[in-house]
A and B are shown apart, each in its own frame.
Chain A
Amino acid sequence: MSAIAHPHDHSHGEAHEHHGPPRGITRWLYTTNHKDIGTMYLVFSCIMFFAGGSMAMMIRAELFEPGLQLFNPQFFNSLTTIHGLVMIFGAIMPAFVGLANWLIPMQIGAADMAFPRLNNWSFWLLVPASVLLISGFFVPGGAIASGWTLYPPLSIQQGISMDMSILAIHMMGASSIMGSINIITTILNMRAPGMTLMKMPMFVWAWLITAYLLIAVMPVLAGAITMLLFDRHFGTSFFNAAGGGDPTMFLHIFWFFGHPEVYIMILPAFGIVSQIIPAFARKPLFGYASMVYATASIAILSFIVWGHHMFTVGMPAAGNLFFMYATILIAVPTGVKVFNWISTMWRGSMTFETPMLFAIGFIFLFTIGGFSGLVLALAPVDITLHNTYYVVAHFHYVLVSGALFAIIGAVYFWLPKWTGNMYNETLGKWHFWLSMIGFNVLFFPQHFLGLAGMPRRIPDYALQFAEWNMISSIGAFIFGFTQLIFLYNVITTIRSGKPAEQKPWEGADSLEWTHLPTPAPYHTFEVQPVIK
Chain B
Amino acid sequence: MHLKHLRALVALAATLPASLAALASYDVDILPPVTPMSQESYNLHWGIMYVCIAIFFIVFGTMFWSIFKHRRSKGAQAAQFHENTTIEILWTIIPFVVLIGMAYPATRTMIEMKDASGADMTVKITAYQWRWGYDYPQEGVHFFSNLSTPRDQIDNYDGAGAAKNDNYLLEVDKPFVVPTGKKIRLLITANDVIHGWYVPQLGVNQYGIPGFIKDAWIQVDKPGIYRGQCSQICGKEHAYMPIVVDARTPEQYAAWVKEEKAKMPPPPAPEPQAAAAPAAQGEAPAAAAAPAGKMSAADLKAAGEKVYTQNCAACHQANGMGLAGTFPPLAAGHAFNAPAAMTKPLQDRGFFKGGKIVEGSPKEHMDIVLHGVPGTAMASWAHLTDEQIAAVITYERGSWGNHGGEVQPSEVAAARKKS
Binding site for B on A (CB under 8 A): 65-70, 72-74, 77, 139-142, 145-147, 151-154, 157, 159-160, 241-242, 246-248, 281-290, 312-314, 316-317, 320-321, 324-325, 328-329, 331-332, 335-336, 338-339, 342-343, 345-352, 360, 363-364, 367-368, 371, 374-375, 378-381, 383-384, 386-388, 445, 447-448, 451-453, 455-468, 471, 507
Contacts and interface: CB of A to CB of B under 8 A. Distances in A.
A141 B177 CA distance: 38
A183 B206 CA distance: 42
A471 B236 contact: no
Contacts, number: 325
B30 interface: yes
B71 to A, nearest CB: 5
A345 B41 contact: no
A479 to B, nearest CB: 16
A290 B30 CA distance: 38
B88 interface: yes
A380 B110 CA distance: 6
Contact of A140 (B45, B193, B325): B325
B169 interface: yes
Contacts of A457: 233, 238
Interface in B208-252: 209-212, 214-215, 227-240
Given A342-B59, A455-B231, A466-B25, A287 B238 contact: no
Interface stretch (B151-159, B273-281, B287-295): B151-159
Interface string B83-96: 11001100110011
13 contacts: A67-B164, A77-B233, A159-B325, A283-B80, A287-B82, A312-B196, A313-B209, A342-B62, A371-B55, A380-B110, A451-B27, A455-B238, A507-B78
Contacts of A461: 169, 239
B76 A381 contact: no
Given A142-B325, A331-B95, A457-B238, A448 B27 contact: yes
Contacts of A160: 339
B232 A284 contact: no
A346 B62 contact: yes
A227 to B, nearest CB: 16
B135 interface: no
Nearest to B323: A74
Contact of B60 (A142, A364, A460): A364
A384 B72 contact: no
B139 interface: no
Main secondary structure of the interface of B (DSSP, over half): mixed
A140 B72 contact: no
B4 interface: no
Given A141-B326, A380-B44, A463 B154 contact: no
A480 B314 CA distance: 32
Contact of B235 (A154, A383, A386): A154
Interface string B52-69: 100110011011001100
Contacts of B37: 380
Given A380-B110, A455-B238, A458-B239, 8 more contacts: A72-B323, A145-B235, A312-B206, A347-B78, A367-B60, A374-B51, A380-B113, A460-B239
Contacts of B38: 384
B373 interface: no
Given A157-B235, A374-B48, A378-B44, A462 B79 contact: no
B114 A317 contact: yes
B168 A159 contact: no
B88 to A, nearest CB: 5
Nearest to B79: A347
B92 A375 contact: no
B205 A336 contact: no
A425 to B, nearest CB: 15
Nearest to A345: B66
Given A67-B161, A159-B325, A290-B88, A445 B52 contact: no
Interface string B142-162: 000000000001111100110
Contacts of A386: 196, 198, 205, 231
B338 A453 contact: no
Contacts of A350: 66-67, 70-72, 76
A157 B377 contact: yes
Contact of B41 (A65, A381, A448): A381
Contacts of A159: 325-326, 338-339, 342
Interface stretch (B99-107, B263-271, B380-388, B398-406): B99-107
B289 to A, nearest CB: 36
Interface of B: 10, 14, 16, 19, 22, 25-31, 37-38, 40-42, 44-45, 48-49, 51-52, 55-56, 59-60, 62-63, 66-67, 70-73, 76-84, 87-88, 91-92, 95-96, 99, 102-103, 106-107, 109-111, 113-115, 153-157, 160-161, 164, 166-170, 192-194, 196, 198, 200, 203-207, 209-212, 214-215, 227-240, 323-326, 337-339, 342, 376-377
B205 A387 contact: yes
Contact of A462 (B167, B198, B325): B167
A375 B48 contact: yes
A89 B214 CA distance: 34
A281 B215 CA distance: 55
A360 B67 contact: yes
A349 B205 contact: no
Contacts of B203: 380, 383-384
Contacts of B339: 140-141, 159-160
Contact of B88 (A69, A70, A287): A287
B191 to A, nearest CB: 10
B91 A451 contact: no
A73 B238 contact: yes
B324 to A, nearest CB: 6
A324 B41 CA distance: 14
Contacts of B62: 342, 346
B338 A140 contact: yes
A337 to B, nearest CB: 11
A431 B377 CA distance: 46
Given A67-B161, A374-B48, A381-B48, A282 B113 contact: no
What 8 A-B pairs come out closest when comparing CB atoms? A241-B211, A141-B325, A314-B214, A140-B325, A453-B200, A458-B239, A67-B156, A317-B114
Given A241-B210, A247-B194, A314-B206, A451 B66 contact: no
A452 B28 CA distance: 7
A312 B200 CA distance: 13
Contacts of B326: 74, 141-142, 159
Given A283-B80, A453-B198, A313 B103 contact: no
